[in-house]
């Protein structure tokens, strides 16, 4: 983004992801849900809800897909970017359940919070763009 002199988009992607990580830490501290202990493939520390990987992947790949609206001109390439982002988000969530470090509700909760948070951030950015053009 900096190379293309799209400074507002660069600030958007960094701030959305950074604040999203802080939001996840806050929510884990508030809910304090223990991780599943039924035959985990790996051992994780910390609390379980919401899934940080699921929430983070949705915020990161979702914001990257949103950037495609501003950068990529071809509709076909935009669709491909959205499909790839969606697959990464889905596979990361499923992997957290498979590894036994999250309950399915942790992943769904991470997705739900990630969608809501991303929607608010995108709306705020669009409002900024609208006011900047005036």
Catalytic residue (choose from 16, 50, 53, 60): 53
- Using a 10 angstrom Cβ sphere, with 0-12 exposed, 13-18 middle and 19 or more buried, the burial of residue 118 is buried
Active-site residue, from 50, 51, 59, 102? 102
Active site residue 70: no
Which residue, among 127, 58, 123, has the nearest Cα to 89 in the 3D structure?
58
Among 37, 29, 54, CA closest to 106: 54
Q: Which residues are catalytic?
A: 53, 102
């Amino acid at each position: 983004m900096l190379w293309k002199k799209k400074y507002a988009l660069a600030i958007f992607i960094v701030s959305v992801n950074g604040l999203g990580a802080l939001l996840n830490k806050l929510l884990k501290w508030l809910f304090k849900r223990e991780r599943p202990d039924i035959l985990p493939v790996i051992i994780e520390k910390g609390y379980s809800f919401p899934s940080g990987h699921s929430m983070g992947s949705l915020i990161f790949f979702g914001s990257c897909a949103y950037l495609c609206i501003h950068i990529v001109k071809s509709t076909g390439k935009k669709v491909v970017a959205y499909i790839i982002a969606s697959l990464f988000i889905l596979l990361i969530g499923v992997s957290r359940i498979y590894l036994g470090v999250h309950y399915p509700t942790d992943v769904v909760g991470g997705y739900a919070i990630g969608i809501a948070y991303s929607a608010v951030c995108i709306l705020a950015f669009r409002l900024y763009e609208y006011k900047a053009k005036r």
